[in-house]
Structure 1
Amino acid sequence: MTAAVLALYAVVAVVAVPGLLNRGEWTERAPRLAICVWLAACVSVIASAVFSVLAVAIPANVIGHGLAEVFQACATMLFDGAILTSPVVRAALVGAALIAARITYCGAVIVVGARGERRRHADMLNLLGRHDSELDAVVLDHDEAAAYCLPGRKGRAVITTAALRSLAPEQVAAVLAHERAHLRGRHHLVLATAEALCRAFPHLPLFARTRGEVVRLIELLADDVAARRHPRIHIAAALVRLATGRAPAFTLGAGGATALTRVRRMLSPAAPLRRRERLAGLAAVVFLLAGPVAVVAIPGLSSFLAHHCHNISIF
């Protein structure tokens, strides 16, 4: 029953959650919370899938006899050929291993590939760019107006000479604040996580939608951080001029496809979420992350109480 409930939830959530999360404009009002909810939904589905196959392999009554016997059961399944000959147990273990291996492989490919691209781009900036101490950014001679950041251990903000010519000084300061928000927030790691999940499960709606939403919400979040110190009108004006600018794929740029919609958001900001709404969002994150664990733990806990409560006495 536990395995069936978890598997059913995983299947339904993959299809239904994207539509539920896209209702209303609450994500634009709280992009950080929205990112957490989207990623928590993905983790919830993966955990449910893994726990469902493990629930088949490890019965609840085994968990109920104590944690030591859980490890003993795992060791037995690994080394006892008689148990491994069970088709159900073997299929369950192989399924869980394949899910974990797929996510690990896709994550490693993305991280290693992006690191190599960033290293080559950093070498190019060292040759062609110059550090401006007043701007605290690398200035790159280029005819296209663009601003972006190169994340990593030695992250740096980059702006082209065309952007410096087309932007007023206060607009330059605002757009560089946007890029530094990406660097301080380690947003490239969040994007890499979403990209790895999408690549691991490319045909599932939840993971594909999560990647697109995280890309959009990361930019909104950086806009909000920049707006704490710079007027929104300056950010909006800079976005208009940089809307057509193209940044390298492995960097985080201020312009891009979402620039014009972000201009509207900067000029007409929606009211932030009320306290009750934020608490509801945090509760959703907790439910998504803890729900699969609770479902798989309740049968084991019930079995544990059934086996050991008779040893408890009250004096």
Structure 2
Amino acid sequence: MDTRLHPTALASDLDAQGPLGELHAALRAVLLPLARLAVAQGLPYAQAEALLKLAFLEAGREAHGGHAQRAVSRISAATGLSRREVTRLLQRPEGDPPPRRSPATELFTRWLSDPALRTPEGRPMALPRQGPAPSFESLAQAVTRDVHPRSLLEELCRLGLAELDAAGETVHLLRETYVPQGDLVRMLGFLGANVGDHFSAAVANVLTDGKRHFEQALFADELSGESLEQVRRLVTEQWQALLTALVPAITRLIEEDRAAGRAQDQRLRIGLYTYTDAMPAASGSNPPSPPSDQEN
């Protein structure tokens, strides 16, 4: 049986109308950046296809409950994968467990967001390297007892987030955002975690009542490059305010759950992003469009 895609059939599928056409358009918008990443990193199509098969398998298993080891036929019907392929994939060893959060980045976030560690002007305080709170040592021990404060300090310095003064007594933060430029492993880790959760939230909203996860966006066009620089500064300020308000509140909730003996089996990710690009065509003499909300 010939399973290759014929150009005419492919064109017909991609030109579908109605909800199916909208689904195709949404998938193209999502898959193109992924394809760019794969091409840029030298990942061939065959390996990307293998990952897509595993994703379809997992989605099929979820749709039929648990691992669904006896549901080969149902998974095959739901995904379009052959029964033989489903069986082969189900027999694969389980993958590696997801990586744990970095204690260094958690310490960095705590330092930025804890009101007790900020100056009257609202900037992060320089901290004594050792001693009682407030100090770098006490902050590090509040984050984890599994990693020595010295090791966490060395990691923050390696990442360009902090530095130790010449006397070796005081630690200073160098930045107020963490974008690990030049560290491909961490950047890919952030991409998978942040975009994966954002996409999961959007899909869950589409497949349910649209209210399960908070997910909204603001869209505007006809801006100049100079205006975008001002917007970037505004967004950075708003993110810092949000971080300062949320981290202590969430930390308190975690402690209250622990004290009350509640099952602590839920996770949370809150994000904010901006994306800028050239408009697809000249705007001509049309008046500027006001910003508009977009949501699922």
Q: Which has the higher contact order (CA 8 A, sep 6+)?
A: 1
TM-score bracket, normalised by the shorter chain, equals under 0.3
- TM-score, normalised by the number of residues in structure 2: 0.24
Could you state the TM-score of these two structures normalised by the residue count of structure 1? 0.23
